Each structure stands twice: as C-alpha cells, then as structure tokens.
Structure 1
Amino acid sequence: MEIRLIQGDITQLKVDAIVNAANTSLLGGGGVDGAIHRAGGTQILEACQHIRNRQGKCAVGEAVITTAGLLPAQYVIHAVGPVWNKGDLREEELLASAYRNSLKLAATKGLRSIAFPNISTGIYRFPKDKAAQIALQTVRDFPSEASSIEELIFVCFDEENYRIYQSLLGFVH
C-alpha cells in the first residue's frame, strides 16, 4: 500500500472513499464533517439517517459507509473519533479503532484508494502529534495481504498537521 500526504480539501479528491471525521449522530457538524455534508449534498445526510434508523447512533471508534453524493469520491466512510479528555478515557485506543474500522470497511468493499482527514484533531482537541502517530501506526499495522487498498492518502487541512505528518513519514520539508 502506497501512503501519500497532501495538504488540501478532502472533498475535492477523486478516490474510492474519503473518510469523514464524523460525530456519533452522523448528521453533520463542524469542520471536515460539515464540509463533507455540504459538498456531498442531501444524499449523504439521507444515507446517514437510514443508518441511524437501522442502528441508532454510531459509537466512538466505529465507522459506517454511505454514498458520496455529489463528491468526486464513490463513498464516504464516517468514522467517529474520540473527544480528547487528557487520555483518561481510552482515547488512543478509540482513535486507532476508528482508523482500523474505516480500513476494514474499505477492504470489505474491495476499494483501492482511501483518503483520511486528521480525525479528532479539530474541535475534539486530540493532540495532533499523538493522533498522527496513532493514525500512521494503525495504517501500517493493517494487514495489507488481506486488503484491496493500494493507495492511502492523509489529507491535512492545516499546515501544523501537514508538517507533523511530513516529519513522521520522513518526507523532506
């Protein structure tokens, strides 16, 4: 699996799936969640409402998949990351689970390309350096022989996250 890094807008990517840093309600919110719902149109919200009607809210650390609506991607994987609370409530484990469950959904669907935002690092206040380490370790630990995923892109909206990922991936600044 090739790992790439870009700084930009995840809603513009033409990949098999983009991952949404969703909240448990699945009904949109701020940050990347709101941007994906706005750019993707009502089809995403309707698909999320169907999931809610079937299973209720999406638990922290879990992920669900929907259409991408008007986005250039085929699917949106809605992953619910934890709110940072000084690390006292299994936040690291739950963040790793959100990434792992997103990868499992993509592999189950036979998807070849997936793009991740920096889950939980915005209003959920997860320390950016710690979140990046968890994201990279979880991706690297995912069994590639059991997966269709060929390309994984980390999409950083802000400069700080971009520089952290550059450093951890060993890319030249």
Structure 2
Amino acid sequence: MRIEIVEGDITARPVDAIVNAANSSLLGGGGVDGAIHRVAGPRLLEACRELRATVLPDGLPVGAAVGTPGFNLQARWVIHTVGPNRHAGQTDPALLASCFSESLRVADSLGARSLAFPAVSAGVYGWDAREVASVAFDAVRGYGAAAPDSGVETVEFVLFSAETAQIFRAVLG
C-alpha cells in the first residue's frame, strides 16, 4: 500500500473513494464534511438520510465507517467516518486509529483501489496534526499488514493547508 501526501481539495481528487470526516448524524456539517456534501450534491444527503432511517438510526458511532455513492464527486464513493472529539473527552488514540482502519475495510468491500483521507479529528476536534498523522500512518500500515489481500493500492492524505501537509510529510519521513 503506497502512502502519498497531497496538499489540496479532497473533493477534487481523482481517486476511487474519499473519506469524509463526518459527524455522527451523517447529515452534513462544516469543514471537510460540508465541502463534500456541497460538491457531491443533494443526493448524498438523501443517501445519508436513508442510512439513518434504516441501518444507523442512532447515527454513526465514533471510529466506525460506512460508504455511500459519491454522486457529483470525481470519486465513485464517499466513506464516512466519525473521528473522536478531544474537546468532548474522546482522547483514546485507538478510536482515531479505528477511523482509518474501518475506512480501509469499507474501501476494500467496495472494491476501491485508491482512497483519500483528510486529517480526521485534527482542527475543530482538537487533535494535534502530528498525532493524527502518526496514528493514521500506523493504522494504514497495520491494516496493510493484517489484510495482505487488500485491493487498496494507494492511500492519499489530502491536507487543505500547507502547514498540515508539511507536518504529515515530516511524520511520514
């Protein structure tokens, strides 16, 4: 599994699937979540409402992931995951790692070969970008080792700011 760091807009990435740093309601929000919903169009919100009405009546739990079509995005799929909110006392790195490994599991189930992640839980959820990068890279490498038959070949970390991209590059080495 190849890991790449990209500075830019995750909604414009030519990958099979992008990961949405969603809130548990799945009904849109700010930041990456809002940008993905805007570009994907109203059918994404409809798909998320359908998930809430059927398999996720209580919302998506922290650390879990679920897929929907990408609709108007370049990516064929959106994989929604809910990162832990440090401000709400969710400080366990295992919850954060689960966001990455569960997203990879969903990507595999969808047949995705390329996947783009944002800096899940960095920013408004209060996690330090350096810690997010370290946990994310460990989770991706761990998933690759545990699932040698994974079809995911490329994992991009798409960071909106130059500063965050620089931090991720430094942690990746």
TM over 0.5: yes
- Normalised TM-score (structure 1): 0.93
1:62 to 2:61 alignment? no
Please tell me whether residue 37 in structure 1 is matched to residue 37 in structure 2: yes
Matches within 5 A, 1:120-131: 120-131=121-132
| CA deviation profile, 1:88-114 (whole Å, cap 9, x unmatched) | 544311111111110000111221000
TM-score, normalization by structure 2: 0.93
Superposed CA RMSD in Å reads 1.3
Within 2, Cα distance between the matches of 1:21 and 1:72?
17
- Unaligned runs of 5+ residues in structure 2 are none
Deviation at 1:127, TM superposition (A): 1.2
Deviation at 1:122, TM superposition (A): 1.9
Which residue of 2 is the match for residue 8 of structure 1? 8
- 90-99 or 57-66, which deviates more: 90-99
Post-superposition Cα deviations, 1:120-154, rounded to whole Å, max 9, x if no partner, equal: 11211111111110001000111341310011101
Of the three residues 153, 157, 161, the one matched with 2:156 is 153
Deviations 1:2-37 (A, max 9, x none): 111110000001111000000000011000000000
- Cα distance, 1:68 vs. partner? 0.5
Gaps of 5+ in 1: none
Residue matched to 1:101: 102
Note the alpha carbon deviations across 1:29-65, whole angstroms, 9 max, x for none.
0000000000110111111001001122001111110
Preserved contact between residue 40 and residue 70 of structure 2 (Cα < 8 Å): yes
CA distance in 1, matches of 2:149, 2:81: 21
Whether the 8 Å contact between 2:87 and 2:125 is mirrored in structure 1 is: no
Structure 1 runs of 4+ aligned residues shifted over 2 Å read 88-91
Give the equivalent residue in structure 2 for 1:25: 25
Aligned residue for 1:123, secondary structure, equals helix
Counterpart for residue 86 of structure 2: 84
